Amino acid sequence: MADRMRALAAERYGGPEVLQLREVPVPVPGEGELLVRVAASTVNRTDTATLRGYPFLARLFTGFPRPRFDVFGHEFAGTVEGAGDSVTRFAPGDRVFGLSPDRFGTHAEFVAVPADGAVARVPDGHPLIEAVVAEGAWYAEGSVRDVVPGQEVLIYGASGAIGIAALQLARDRGARVTAVVGPRHLDLMRELGADSVIDYTTGTWSDLDTRFDLVMDAVGKTSYFACRHLLKPGGGYRATDLGPRGSNVWLGLWSGLTRSGRVALPLPTDAPGFVTRLAGLMAAGRFRGVFDRAYPFEQIADAYAYVETGQKTGIVVIDMGPTAEVRRLFDPDT
């Protein structure tokens, strides 16, 4: 194995134009760590926000005045190449997927991750390029984890990575799900099990007679004030974005202080436990990824630019294969 690899980095915050592919040393797995040869990664809203340094307060974690991560990216699927001392859970050759939420590093040909961290075996029959499904699902879990059977859930923007995951996770918990999406995604929502599907361009979603236990904005394009009339008494609004003028943050803080639970911008927790549970759902056929397109590693800046358009369906994949090329994977017109 070579001692150097290609990796994605940025010396300053900005747009895709600041990204650089560099040659850096291959990480050496320490005690309790795995070295994974990355077959696939993703570019998502978290990655583009990290690159932009948005929101500004996030730089307390990501670095100030410039990014502190040597390598970007925090989702991977690949093959275990080696392991440090005391690792017994995995062996070289195992196909694995997961997250590196604390130290990033997955936009590279190799990544070192804790063996007891957010990593699990890829279920049999799942290609590695279709196993990068954890990031959006982890964020979705924060919004739907309290859903119980029989509840009514509305997901606004259910066609992105978080929304698609939230739909499947809520359905798996026994909820009735209403998905609000654009016209090109109506059939996809039905295929994924939505009980009701609404084209947001008709404007009818906000006039529904149904009242919901949970209204979730999965794309950051609405607000609590636009949705509160749809909530049952005791129902909750969950957001994946700060909201207009940071309203979701302030309303969430107020809801916490008053213990109403009305508004929250939930942070994901227990990444290791969730990735293990997700592997079980995948193996049982109760969760699958939906993929928009794949980019070769050399064109990862184009993937960042595409994600920033806000028009993606599901997941944008980075294919690390030697013969990878740009491929469109979701096309409702075919």
- Residue 113, pLDDT > 70, answer yes
Mean pLDDT of 150-160: 97
Residues 88, 16, single domain; the answer is: yes
- On whether residue 173 sits in a domain, the answer given is yes
pLDDT at 4: 95
Residues 49, 128, single domain; the answer is: yes
Instruction: Tell how far CA 249 is from the center of its chain.
Output: 20
Give me the number of domains the chain comprises.
2
Residues 9, 105, single domain; the answer is: yes
pLDDT at 334: 56
pLDDT at 187: 96
Backbone angles phi, psi at 262, to 5 degrees: -70, -45
Residues 54, 85, single domain; the answer is: yes
- On whether residue 153 sits in a domain, the answer given is yes
- Residue 145, pLDDT > 80, answer yes
Residues 95, 146, single domain; the answer is: no
Q: Note the pLDDT tens digit of each residue in 42-71.
A: 999 999 999 998 878 788 788 888 888 889
Which of 264, 281, 304 is the C-terminal boundary of a domain?
A: 264
- Residue 171, pLDDT > 90, answer yes
Q: Note the pLDDT tens digit of each residue in 253-290.
A: 777 777 778 888 888 899 999 999 999 999 999 999 99
Instruction: Tell how far CA 159 is from the center of its chain.
Output: 12
CA 61 – CA 58 distance, rounded (Å)? 6
pLDDT at 215: 97
Q: Note the pLDDT tens digit of each residue in 227-244.
A: 999 999 999 999 988 777
pTM comes to 0.94
- Residue 248, pLDDT > 80, answer no
Residues 124, 14, single domain; the answer is: yes
- On whether residue 252 sits in a domain, the answer given is yes
Distances (CA, A) of 109 to 40, 73, 119, 255, 333: 9, 11, 17, 43, 34
What are the structure tokens assigned to 282, written together?
């995948």
What are the structure tokens assigned to 22, written together?
């560099």
Mean pLDDT of 72-89: 94
What are the structure tokens assigned to 245, written together?
């003028």
Q: Note the pLDDT tens digit of each residue in 1-41.
A: 779 999 999 999 999 999 999 999 999 999 999 999 999 99
Mean pLDDT of 143-161: 96
pLDDT at 103: 87
- Residue 107, pLDDT > 90, answer yes
- On whether residue 269 sits in a domain, the answer given is no
Residues 187, 297, single domain; the answer is: no
Print the domain residue range for 238.
135-264
- On whether residue 308 sits in a domain, the answer given is yes
Residues 123, 140, single domain; the answer is: no
Closest among 27, 20, 23, 3 to 67, alpha carbons compared = 20
The residue whose two tokens read 């859903």 is 147
Look over the chain and give the mean of its residue pLDDT values, rounded to a whole number: 93
Which of 228, 248, 264 is the C-terminal boundary of a domain?
A: 264
Residues 317, 259, single domain; the answer is: no
CA 75 – CA 138 distance, rounded (Å)? 11
Which of 248, 264, 280 is the C-terminal boundary of a domain?
A: 264
- Residue 251, pLDDT > 60, answer yes
Residues 256, 150, single domain; the answer is: yes
The b-or-e profile of 169-199 (16+ CB within 10 A means b, else e) is bbbebebbbbbbbeeebbebbeebebebbbe
For the chain, where are the alpha helices, taking DSSP H only? Answer: 45-52, 59-62, 134-144, 161-172, 186-191, 224-227, 247-258, 271-283, 300-307
pLDDT at 247: 73
pLDDT at 253: 78
Residues 250, 157, single domain; the answer is: yes
CA 131 – CA 142 distance, rounded (Å)? 20
> Which CATH number fits the domain that encloses residue 170?
3.40.50.720
Residues 20, 64, single domain; the answer is: yes
> Which CATH number fits the domain that encloses residue 129?
3.90.180.10
Mean pLDDT of 71-88: 94
